Structure 1
Amino acid sequence: MGLNFKEIFTATMVLFAVIDIIGNVPIIIDLRKKAGHIQSEKAALVAGIIMIAFLFLGKSILNVIGIDVNSFAVAGALILFFLALEMILGISLYKEEETNAVTVSVFPLAFPLIAGPGSLTTILSLRAEYETMNIAIAILLNMIFMYIVLKTSSKIERIIGENGIKIIRKVFGVILLAISVKLFASNVQGLFTS
């Protein structure tokens, strides 16, 4: 199939919603205050490597464990559902805010905040429907965008404001909720036919 711009766009938007880098701007600013500095390049690189590695090795890991992609996609849909509820309702279910000033760019920023359970599950769930190359491009696009946001997080906070960030989180939460329902519906049948 090769390059498919519709797949790249959809996968990019899904990952963008899951990673929720704009919604995480307040957490990023808090980490910057505690650590004094965030290495944006390091955070983007580490998160990108984790996600690309999971894209290519995730299926093999599942096969070793004995789980099929449909089961993982349904589990992923449920995680996305709860992440969406978290974004819409403003509750916190997953995020750890434990900070270490020395390694804050890698932990908790690159992992688990960016390349966390939600994004890794999403990557495998997307793999059930899309070409691997298109998902890899979507990951790279998100890492570039994430790097820009990390570099300009304080400016973004001033421009958008606290209410703007809350609105963006809720809008992407609704999009994510719809995506999780679609992902669940398209993969749940595979559980009973395989």
Structure 2
Amino acid sequence: MGLHFNFKEIVTATMVLFAVIDIIGSIPIIIDLRKKVGHIQSGKATIVSAIIMVLFLFVGDKILGLIGIDVNSFAVAGAFIIFFLAIEMILGVSIFKDEISESTSIVPLAFPLIAGAGTMTTLISLRAEYHVENIVIAIMVNSIFVLFVLKASKRIEATLGTVGLSVLRKVFGIILLAIAVKLFATNINQLLN
């Protein structure tokens, strides 16, 4: 069994994951988390999210099956977390309790923001269409971009200013809310059928 590297598959998988991870759309959440806890461990969050994605690519459906959870149930649970993050962004309320900085890099940053239910569901879908090695490269390319955005969050905040960030936060809050609703609606239909 040889490796099947395919540039087209790598590019397509990278673009699909980029859209689903939506690290640009998560900038207001990242800045907000950094304000709450002082700092974010960018490297740790990136490595953990990449490990979660690669592991889920290989054994995700088996792990979920082992504990009796299907992908649709997992996606609905992820939709709830994304929904509450969106409500925080839109209404300016605090639902999630402030936690110490070490755990914030993992939850909610690495999971479910970067490697969330949408990303994991997408990985299973990509695996049905593309060779695994091309998807792994796509995960690595996206992880490098995620690291860059996490490291640059202070500069992005300085460039946008308070008003720009507030507007961006509300706009992406609505987008995040729409993603949560879509993720919920798509997967709840599958669960009910």
**Given the two structures, how large is their TM-score scaled by the length of structure 1?**
0.71
The letter for the 2-side match of 1:108 is: T
Aligned residue among 88, 91, 112 for 2:90: 88
1:1-194 counterparts in 2 under 5 A? Answer: 3=9, 8-16=14-22, 20-28=26-34, 31-32=38-39, 40-94=42-96, 96-99=98-101, 104=102, 107-109=103-105, 111-118=106-113, 119-127=115-123, 130-132=125-127, 139-193=139-193
Deviation (angstroms), 1:66: 1.0
Show the counterpart of 2:5: none
Runs of 4+ in 1 over 4 A off after TM superposition: 4-8, 133-139
Deviation (angstroms), 1:135: 6.6
> Residues 30 and 150 of structure 2 are in contact (CA less than 8 Å); yes or no, is this contact kept in structure 1?
no
Give a deviation string over 1:107-131, Cα, whole Å, max 9, x none: 432x114212454323233346x31
The letter for the 2-side match of 1:131 is: L
The letter for the 1-side match of 2:66 is: V
Deviation (angstroms), 1:5: 5.7
CA distance in 1, matches of 2:160, 2:24: 20
Sequence identity (%): 44
CA distance in 2, matches of 1:79, 1:86: 11
Give a deviation string over 1:63-110, Cα, whole Å, max 9, x none: 1111122222223223322222222222232364313xxxx4xx432x
> Residues 8 and 138 of structure 1 are in contact (CA less than 8 Å); yes or no, is this contact kept in structure 2?
yes
Gap change, CA 1:140 and 1:66, over 3 Å in 2: same
How many positions carry a matched residue from both structures?
179
CA distance in 2, matches of 1:177, 1:41: 27
CA distance in 2, matches of 1:126, 1:117: 14
Give a deviation string over 1:22-58, Cα, whole Å, max 9, x none: 43124336534xxxxx764444223322333234333
Higher deviation after alignment, 39-48 or 144-153:
39-48
Structure 1's unaligned 5+ residue stretches are 33-37
> Residues 72 and 124 of structure 1 are in contact (CA less than 8 Å); yes or no, is this contact kept in structure 2?
no
Calculate the aligned-residue CA RMSD, in Å. Answer: 3.2
Higher deviation after alignment, 9-18 or 87-96:
9-18
> Secondary structure in 1 aligned to 2:22?
helix
> Secondary structure in 2 aligned to 1:23?
helix
> Residues 79 and 180 of structure 2 are in contact (CA less than 8 Å); yes or no, is this contact kept in structure 1?
yes
The letter for the 2-side match of 1:78 is: F
